[in-house]
Amino acid sequence: MDKRSPTIEEWPLYHADSLSEVWSESTTKAPFSYSVVPEDFASGLVPNLEDSESLATDREQKLLVASVDAEPVGFAHICAGPAEVRGEDTECGIIRCLAFVPDFPAVGQLLLESAEGLLTDYEYIDAFPLYHGYSFHNYKVGVLSDRLAHVRKLFSENGYTPHDAHLTLERRIGKVTPAPIAAQVNVEKVPTHAERPNIFVRAFSGDSRIGICRMFSCQTYAHLDELASCCYLRWLGVDQEHRRQGIGHHILNRALSEAQEDGYERVILNCRENNIAAISLYTRVGFRIGDVSSAYVKRL
């Protein structure tokens, strides 16, 4: 363990590109956190307020950077905004991310204390809360991988409690034949900057949409060649009155079939750990758990 004394400074977000190596080294054991080029890393820290998939705000944004001998070894990115705490939407102090090189545990403690000191106006601090994450961090879901033991240990030792656990599931895409259903189904493929299109499968009863499956290229979230053949299942939903009719199973399999035609080889999704019905569906069609993640909350 390195015993040199770290220093903490506040950096503007536009200087964050030099922290990409810290991010990569801190998250190397998290299978769905990706190392991106410095420019993409820096732009990913800036909240996109028009992004309907994100809860991140631009309120009280601060980037705290820990350095040893003028070299960054960790950072904490904080803000304020809504988060779900004990089943209720609550205005919280938010730690969007806290990353530090595992060889410098004192850095993590110093960053956490500094972050907490700036968030004392809030009853709760929520760390790695749901949908406050970066696009290259578990597809915007944002919760902390259980495999990052050095960060989990830090929060546990400082009185934080895990909550809002999520499973990341994945499967290889093989040949899929959707079973027939009574509903009408259409498929839309939307080209993007990625090598392969996004795929939308919709089910209709008459003129009413009753179900949808949305599948995106993983390159939508991280511009990496290794993700060109990987897609992310962002949403699968069927209206309440049309459930238990095989519609969800059909549109999921139809999306997988279309994905295979387009050259996708692997699909990933996130699901709440307590969503037993969804997990049952996904495991029946071949998904397996790739990671478990949680947010961490503390009452001040």
CATH superfamily of 7-165+294-299: Gcn5-related N-acetyltransferase (GNAT) (3.40.630.30)
- At residue 42, the pLDDT reads 93
Reply yes or no on whether the pLDDT at 2 is more than 60. no
**pLDDT, average across residues 55-82:** 92
**pLDDT, average across residues 208-226:** 96
**pLDDT, average across residues 209-236:** 96
Report which of 189, 261, 202 is spatially closest to residue 229, judged by C-alpha positions: 261
- At residue 171, the pLDDT reads 97
**pLDDT, average across residues 2-19:** 86
191-200 confidence digits (pLDDT tens): 999 999 999 9
- At residue 175, the pLDDT reads 83
**pLDDT, average across residues 76-85:** 92
Amino acid at 55: L
Reply yes or no on whether the pLDDT at 203 is more than 70. yes
Q: What is the pTM of this model?
A: 0.92
Report which of 210, 222, 226 is spatially closest to residue 266, judged by C-alpha positions: 226
Handedness of CA 117, 120, 121, 127 (dihedral sign): positive
Report which of 273, 193, 208 is spatially closest to residue 247, judged by C-alpha positions: 208
Whole-number average pLDDT of the chain = 93
Domain spans of the chain, in order of start: 7-165+294-299, 174-264
The separation between CA 170 and the C-alpha centre of its own chain, rounded to angstroms, equals 14
Inter-residue contact 93 to 126 (CB < 8 Å): yes
131-154 confidence digits (pLDDT tens): 899 999 999 999 999 999 999 999
- At residue 15, the pLDDT reads 87
Reply yes or no on whether the pLDDT at 1 is more than 50. no
E strand or H helix at 198: strand 198-205
**pLDDT, average across residues 161-167:** 96
What is the CATH architecture assignment of 174-264? 3-Layer(aba) Sandwich (3.40)
Lowest mean pLDDT among 194-198, 206-210, 216-220: 206-210
Residue 87 binned pLDDT confidence (cut-offs 50, 70, 90): confident
**pLDDT, average across residues 22-34:** 95
Please indicate whether the domains covering 7-165+294-299 and 174-264 agree at the CATH topology level: yes
Q: How many residues are present in the chain? A: 300
Residue 177 binned pLDDT confidence (cut-offs 50, 70, 90): confident
Residue 3 binned pLDDT confidence (cut-offs 50, 70, 90): low
E strand or H helix at 154: helix 149-157
